[in-house]
Structure 1
Amino acid sequence: MAERGGIVPAITLHTLDGLPAEVPQAWAGTPTLVNLWASWCAPCLKEMPDLQAFSAQHATTGVQVVGIALDDVASARTLLTRLGVTYPNLVDPPGPTDAGVRLGNPAGVLPYSVLVAADGRVLKTHIGPFANQAAIANWVQPWETRGLR
């Protein structure tokens, strides 16, 4: 299980197209805000437009957003299309050893976010939804100025 300051454990997840993605290697070298969500999670759906806006605004600064849907592919794809979410998303079936648990969220509360440095270290975690895009930026910003790389 990932812990603050520790390296994200190796996990094989899948893209929406069913291709394997090795985490954290999939985003190695890039600071990443990982957001775990599910299509049935109302707070998750509420914050996703703000994550999309943050992703679009920060793409040039090097902080990427990656979603991990603890859901089935069809439900995840439908929701992402409906909300216009374009940042990368992976899927993992929910369960006692899902990606959320392995990323430090044993209670399974969603949404759950993890800020990962370019070298794969967990910098911080956030349980629950962000209030808005500014809250996301404020959560990431102290680490941006210290150098997520």
Structure 2
Amino acid sequence: MTSPHRRFGTLIAFALLAALALACNAAPLPTEPPAGKPAPALQWNDLDGGQATLAQWRGRPVLLNYWASWCGPCLKELPDLQRFSQAQAVLPNGVHVVGVALDDIEAARALRDQLDLTYPQLVESDGPPGTAAGFGNRIGTLPFSVLIDAHGTVLQVHNGPLHPADLTRWAAAAGVAP
């Protein structure tokens, strides 16, 4: 015969396993990208103490790129985004690249200066997911990018780094000829 303590321990272990099994089968949080929907009205601080809104870039396609100084894939992606930004800046309706650092302002400034990033860099000091949640990135995956057309409609979202070929496809999706 088993002791009451042992039966109680077995019952607790079984209950914990059942709860874990239910949690593993639970539906994930909805993260459906808002493609085809208007981008939310957003406001950030820039790295120089000013403020910026998403609406100020209306009239040109915008690529929002969420990154952090502690994110390895972000660090690899940023030079490609810098080159893409420079190439797009000379086009009349080129994609306007905007970085959003989910970091403290000092770390974001240091990385901007170290990598000589010339496209606008904004900051959300609260960390992930920040405003990226409004684009379907509820768990704060980084890097995370959003392509918005010239009229403010979300065209695409992407979890993970964008490579040069991806950037070319995104420019085409925004109606920008190479």
Same fold at TM > 0.5: yes
Gaps of 5+ in 1: none
* Counterpart-to-counterpart distance in 1, 2:127 and 2:109: 20
Question: Which portions of structure 1, spanning 4 or more consecutive aligned residues, are displaced by more than 6 angstroms?
Answer: none
**Pairwise CA RMSD:** 2.0
**Which structure carries more helix by proportion?**
2
Question: By percentage of residues, which structure has more strand?
Answer: 1
What is aligned with 1:120? Answer: 152
Higher-RCO chain (CA-CA 8 Å, sequence separation at least 6): 1
Q: Max radius of gyration: which structure?
A: 2
Distance across 1 between alignment mates of 2:82 and 2:111: 13
The one-letter amino acid paired with 1:29 is G
**Is 1:94 the equivalent of 2:136?**
no
Structure 2 unaligned blocks of 5 or more: 1-30
Cα shift at 1:142? 3.4
For the residue of structure 1 that corresponds to 2:34, the secondary structure is coil
Give the equivalent residue in structure 2 for 1:14: 45
Decide which of 46, 57, 65 is 2:76's aligned counterpart.
46
- Per the TM alignment, residue 98 of structure 1 is displaced from its structure 2 partner at its CA by 1.1
How far has the Cα of 1:3 moved from its partner? Answer: 1.1
Mapped contact 2:129–2:140 kept (Cα < 8 A): no
TM-score by length of 1: 0.88
Q: How many angstroms does 1:145 deviate by?
A: 5.3
TM-score, normalized by length of structure 2?
A: 0.74
SS at match of 2:147: strand
